[in-house]
Amino acid sequence: MEAPAPPSELVSEEGRNRKAVLCRRCGSRVLQPGTALFSRRQLFLPSMRKKPALASGGGPEGDLLQEHWLVADMFAFENVGFSKAVGGVKFLVCADCEAGPIGWHCLDDKDSFYVALDRVSHE
């Protein structure tokens, strides 16, 4: 079965984000338009919670998410924070209000930062 087409109101013909990526809770800007590539990959993100709970390993509950913005360079982010590494993975959180996880980063792959479309808003 073919994967559904990426949402064209969000993804440009070049596969980049048309809109800015914002924190859902506080509206802080995470990415400028055009700085990330749409990427389909199955990643597990724990349920949204405050950072202290994440640091202790989070909970077993969460979501398998398929659609992400892939960012190759950490400095492409306007604002982003990270949880402590848990099992070689760091979760991305909002730098301002620490809402998260909004994304996923594996320490084995320094050039891949994933931001889940379902965990952010677009403007």
Binding site for Zn ion (CB under 5 A): 23, 25-26, 28, 94, 96-97, 99
Report the nearest approach of Zn ion to the CB of residue 89 (Å). Answer: 21
> What does the DSSP 8-state code read for residue 119?
G
Report the nearest approach of Zn ion to the CB of residue 28 (Å). Answer: 4
- Taking the least distance from each CB to Zn ion, the nearer of 71 and 92 is 92
Distance (Å, rounded) from C-alpha 27 to C-alpha 16? 20
Which value, in Å, is the radius of gyration of the alpha carbons in the chain? Answer: 14
Report the nearest approach of Zn ion to the CB of residue 84 (Å). Answer: 19
Closest CA to 120 of 28, 15, 1: 28
DSSP string, 25-52: TT--EEE-TTSSEEEEEEEEEEPPB-HH
- Taking the least distance from each CB to Zn ion, the nearer of 26 and 74 is 26
- Taking the least distance from each CB to Zn ion, the nearer of 11 and 117 is 117
Report the nearest approach of Zn ion to the CB of residue 79 (Å). Answer: 8
Task: Give the strand pairing for 21-23 and 81-82.
Answer: unpaired
- Taking the least distance from each CB to Zn ion, the nearer of 80 and 94 is 94
